[in-house]
Structure 1
Amino acid sequence: MPKPPLNPYLAVMAAVVAVSFSALFVRLATAPPLIIATYRLLFTFLALAPFTLMKRGILATLDRRQVAFSALSGLFLALHFVTWFTSLGYTSVASSTVLVTLQPVFVVLGSLLFFKERISRLAVMGGLLALTGSIIIGAADFQVGMRALIGDLLALLAAVMISGYLLIGRRLRRGIPLEGYTFVTYGTSSLALVAATLITRTPFGGYPPRDWLLFLALALVCTVMGHTVFNWALKYVQASVVSVSILGEPLGAILWAAVFLGEPPTLRQMAGGAFIFGGLYLFTRVAARPPQPA
């Protein structure tokens, strides 16, 4: 294994802090969720594309199948951002970010269904514990009103969408350079979101200067310094390290929401979050173990 130019563990921790600002930036923006998602992916693509194009021949190494599945991964990523950003307009930052963190459960379930990967009983117990936490949060929001429950369901749908993105990416990244994968994935996401914006006739402009700064921050801080760093770190550390570290994202998001938005989590949200964090910790630690020989 090559020696990394940076400490990968410190890089993962920095990436967790970076992505934890995502929900705050979305809530502070006044633009529609579709526009926020569009500019986040478009600015990300424009920021990273030159690094890919400078490495001549890197895109030529991708075959048609790899390009097609990378594009499909990009569509899942676009749907994830739209559904998650929309959920933040219906429910609290605490509920939305905690429910989106359920994606490891859907990733392993997808691996079981599509790749026939085995799952242990301890991993199943961890997944059930995490799902119990989501039910606690959903029941609490149902008492608040149907609007909050719709936000919870959108957050769960966003978790399913990001799971599709991760499932495809996990398979493709074994044989595709990071630059080639992100070029096709982020590029497809950007094109899909721009097309959706045109079809729905959502204005591309007319937003206050603060919104444009937030679009740029979502791209450079949360995506380039966050999600892209996670993909880079997977070359040097175990997937379990990244999976468990990502559990810190909703904790940071809840903290920023309490400080800057005046949204402290309720007791039931904290209880549900505790179930989810505990279950996901067990789930990711066990599910990431290599299979034992027969």
Structure 2
Amino acid sequence: MARPLEEPLSQPAVTTKRGSLPVSPYALLFIGVFSVALSSIFIKWSSAPASIMGMYRLLFTIVLLLPFRPWKQTGAGRFSWSFKGSLLLVLSGLFLGLHFLFWMESLKHTSVASSMILLTLQPVFIMIGSFFLFKERTSVQGVASLIVALVGSVLIGWGDIGFSEQALYGDMLSIAGALSYSLYLMAGQKLMKEIPSMLYSLFVFIIAALLLFVFNMFNHYTLTDYSLTDWGIFVLLALIPTVMGQMLFNWLLAYVNATTVSMAVIGEPVLAIILAYLLLNEQPTWLQASGGLLTMLGVGIYFRIKPKSVQK
């Protein structure tokens, strides 16, 4: 995933540095980007259904959260329950579950390069949704940069049409995953100002895992009959890309600004493509390479100029 799980859309461009780190925050940022880039490799290595991998990734992450007792924050008086807030929380969890379902399944059909690059289209959907839902306006330069990103994604899809219909189907799933994640972020935008972040993560992870559990039951997928390799991958998906990746991004927001984190995760597709070449022998086509460069360039420029965007 190309954006921290708990970063609110209205996050200020600059955050306050609290305390000091024993190592450079940028070294930790690289570790986070590298960890998230590994997720696509783990998924490719597993023979389990994508919905099973997503469910266990969330469940094992929940287990890792439990020692921190995030539920204790329910009595902290920092937020109050309401019907609207509860509905947004449920929607946020459902959209996160759909994101895992669509994106992880996309890697069963298309290449790491196409899937990861198309996933970076999240800002396009967020820009459109924020305009209609929150009346947030984006500068002309911001719109132009995202159009460049869209042109790059079209080139990727065009190349995959010539490759196979299955690859194009995988591309569509990746775009659906990006859209679902964008809806997840927009649904949680207001909640992130009211609910402690770890408690919010616990709730949405549980809801998303329940959605995937129902999907697995409906499709009669076995919950236990998997190899030791698959079980190891389930644990690694929770520990490395989720905890050492996305949650590390959230923690680093206390030391570097949100724009820096957003710009850094643009490197996820680059590292993922390199890892796919070395570990999976996947070599990007010229259309994937050129389209990918355009997409990441457009998204990168958007994040660079985003603080200058006007909000109404």
1:201 aligns with 2:220: yes
Taking structure 2 as the reference length, the TM-score comes to: 0.88
Please show how residues 81-92 of structure 1 align to structure 2 within 5 Å. 81-92=100-111
1:21 aligns with 2:38: yes
Structure 1 residue aligned with 2:18: 3
1:93 aligns with 2:112: yes
Structure 1: runs of 5+ lacking an equivalent = none
1:259 aligns with 2:278: yes
Q: d(CA) in 2 for partners of 1:4 and 1:29? A: 40
Change (3 A) 1:59 1:33: farther
Contact 1:45–1:190 (8 Å) recurs in 2: no
Q: d(CA) in 2 for partners of 1:203 and 1:235? A: 42
Change (3 A) 1:166 1:267: same
Structure 2 residue aligned with 1:181: 200
Contact 1:87–1:155 (8 Å) recurs in 2: yes
Identity, in percent, stands at: 38
Deviation at 1:53, TM superposition (A): 4.0
The alignment partner of 1:21 has SS state of helix
Contact 2:17–2:256 (8 Å) recurs in 1: no
Deviation at 1:235, TM superposition (A): 4.3
Contact 2:138–2:309 (8 Å) recurs in 1: no
Change (3 A) 1:262 1:59: farther
Please report the RMSD computed on the Cα atoms of aligned residues, expressed in angstroms.
2.0
The alignment partner of 2:279 has SS state of helix
Q: d(CA) in 2 for partners of 1:264 and 1:70? A: 40
Task: Give 4+ residue runs of structure 1 displaced > 6 Å after superposition.
Answer: none
Q: d(CA) in 1 for partners of 2:85 and 2:26? A: 29
Contact 2:119–2:178 (8 Å) recurs in 1: yes
Letter in 1 for 2:45: L
Change (3 A) 1:126 1:87: same
Q: d(CA) in 2 for partners of 1:211 and 1:171? A: 37
Contact 1:58–1:180 (8 Å) recurs in 2: no
Structure 2 residue aligned with 1:40: 57
Q: d(CA) in 2 for partners of 1:279 and 1:129? A: 5
Deviation at 1:203, TM superposition (A): 0.4
Change (3 A) 1:68 1:11: farther
Contact 1:239–1:288 (8 Å) recurs in 2: no
Structure 2 residue aligned with 1:126: 145
